[in-house]
Amino acid sequence: MIALIGVVAYLTQINSSKERTIAVLDESGQLETVFENTEYTTYEIFKGISIETAKQQIKEEGQYGLLYIKQPTDSISVTGDIVFYSEETPSLTVITSLENKLEKKLQDITLERQGVDLEMIRASQINIDIAQESFSGKTTSKIDNVLKLAFGGIAGYLLFMFIIIYGNMIMRSVIEEKTSRIIEVIISSVKPIQLMMGKIIGTSLAGITQFVIWIVLGTIMLSMISAIFGIDLMKVQPEQQELVQQAMQSPDFESKVQLAVTAFQNLPIFNLIIAFIFFFIGGYLLYSSLYAAIGAAVDNETDTQQFMMPILMPLILAVYVGIFTVVEDPHGTVSTVFSFIPFTSPVVMLMRIPFGVPIWQQLLSLGLLIGTFMFTVWFAAKIYRVGILMYGKKPSYKELYKWLKY
C-alpha cells in the first residue's frame, strides 16, 4: 500500500513537472495579454503567419499545442471561433484554464465597447454570506454544515467498511473451523455462545490492532519515502495550484479561514467522540453476531449468498438515508425514525449528532441498539449451537427456524 502511494505520488510529480509550450495565434490582436507564463507553462505568441504555417511549425517543434483565435473579439460568440490544435487530446485542466482566461477578458472587452466602466462594475459587486444564529445566540455558518456532514459521512463510512471487512472475516473463520472439524474439539471445552462472542471480540480487537499498525507504520514509511526519494506527497497539478493561489489571494480568504476555525470549535467534539465509540462498537457487534450465525449455518462461502442480502440491506439503506435525508433535514421524521432503528441507527445517528441531537435521544437509540444486540446474540447463538455441528446439508430459512426451537 505504501509503495503504491509512493509510485502514484512519484508519477503525479513527474506529470506535474512536465513543461508545456502553448503557441497562441490571435488574429483579433486583443487577447494576447491574458497569457502569462507560469512555472510549467510557456506561451509563445505568433504574429504575421497563417494558421497552416503555425500548425506546421508546432508539429515540427513538438510543442504541446496551438491556440487559434480566428475572429475579431466582437464576433466571438459560438463554438469554433477559438480552436486548440494538438497532436494528442489535451488535458481537461489546460483547456478549462484557457477558457477561464479568455472568458474574463472577452467579458471586459464587451463591457468596455458598450461604454461600461469596469472599475464601477467591480466596485458594485457584492458577495453575500448570510449569517446564521440560533434563538439562543449561537452563531453558525455554511462551513459548519460542511464540517458536520464531513464528520458524519466519514464516521458512517468507517463503520460500514469495518462491518463489511471484519464481519466477513468472522464468517470465514467460522466456516474454516467448521470444515476442518476442529470445532468439534473446541466445542467440548466451551459453550457455543462463549465461543461465538470470543470470536467476535477477538476479531474486533485484531481489526483495531491492524488499523493502529497501518496508521503508525504508514505515517513513518510515507515520511521516509518523502525524505529519501524527495517525493512531494501533496503535489498538485500546476493548473490546480494556480486555482489554489487565486483563492488564497481572494480578499475574503482570511475571513473564510476564520469561519472554518469557528465552525470546528462549534462542533460538539466530546459528544462526537463518545458517541462514535459506543455506536461504532454496538453496530459492529450487532452485525458481527449475524455474520457468525451465517458462518455456522453453511459449509462454504458459496452458500452464504442467500443470507447476506438481508443483512446488507439495512446497512445500505442506512447509508442512503444518511446521504440523502440527514443532509437535507437532520431532524426530520425520516432521519429521526431511522436513527432509532437498531440496524440503521449506528450510521444515521452518527450523521445526525453533529447537527445537535438531544442526549435523551442518543441514550434511547444506544439502549435500543444494545438491547437488539443482546437479542441478536441469543438468536445467533441458537443457530450457532446447531449449525457448527451440521454438515453436508444446505440450510434454508425454514431449516434455520427449526434450529431455533432446539
Residue 127 is placed in which grid cell? 458577495
Residues 6+ apart with CB under 8 A from 284: 159, 162, 163, 166, 167, 204, 346
- The model's pLDDT over 212-260, given as tens digits with 9 standing for 90+, comes to 888 888 888 878 777 776 666 555 555 555 555 555 555 565 666 666 6
Beta bridge partners of 41: 20
- Sign of dihedral through CA atoms 353, 354, 357, 358? positive
- Fill in the amino acid letter for 384: Y
Longest dimension (CA), the chain: 94
C-alpha 293, offset from chain centre: 32
Is residue 98 within 8 A of residue 32, CB to CB? The reply is no
- Percent of the chain scoring above 70 in pLDDT: 79
DSSP type of residue 324: I
Task: Compute the distance between CA of residue 402 and CA of residue 319 in angstroms, rounded to an integer.
Answer: 33
What are the DSSP calls for 336-397, one per residue?
HHHTTSTTTHHHHHHHHGGGT--HHHHHHHHHHHHHHHHHHHHHHHHHHHHHTT--S----H
- The model's pLDDT over 70-80, given as tens digits with 9 standing for 90+, comes to 766 555 555 56
Residues 6+ apart with CB under 8 A from 220: none
- Sign of dihedral through CA atoms 70, 101, 66, 46? positive
For residue 36, pLDDT over 70 is answered with yes
Spell out a b/e string for 11-46, using b for 16 or more CB atoms within 10 Å of the CB, else e.
Answer: ebbeebeeebebbbbbebeebbebbeebeebebbeb
Tell me the C-alpha to C-alpha distance, in Å, between residue 58 and each of 30, 31, 66.
22, 20, 7
Strands 82-85 and 139-140: unpaired
Closest CA to 21 of 4, 38, 6, 1: 38
Q: pLDDT value at position 367?
A: 92
Strands 41-46 and 20-26: parallel
Is residue 257 within 8 A of residue 268, CB to CB? The reply is no
- The model's pLDDT over 295-347, given as tens digits with 9 standing for 90+, comes to 777 777 777 777 788 888 888 888 888 777 877 788 888 888 888 998 888 88
- The model's pLDDT over 143-176, given as tens digits with 9 standing for 90+, comes to 777 777 778 778 878 888 888 888 888 888 877 7
Confidence band, pLDDT 50/70/90 cuts, at residue 365: very high
- Set out the domains of the chain in order of their start, with CATH numbers: 2-120 (3.40.190.10), 138-210+263-403 (no CATH)
For residue 356, pLDDT over 70 is answered with yes
C-alpha 286, offset from chain centre: 25
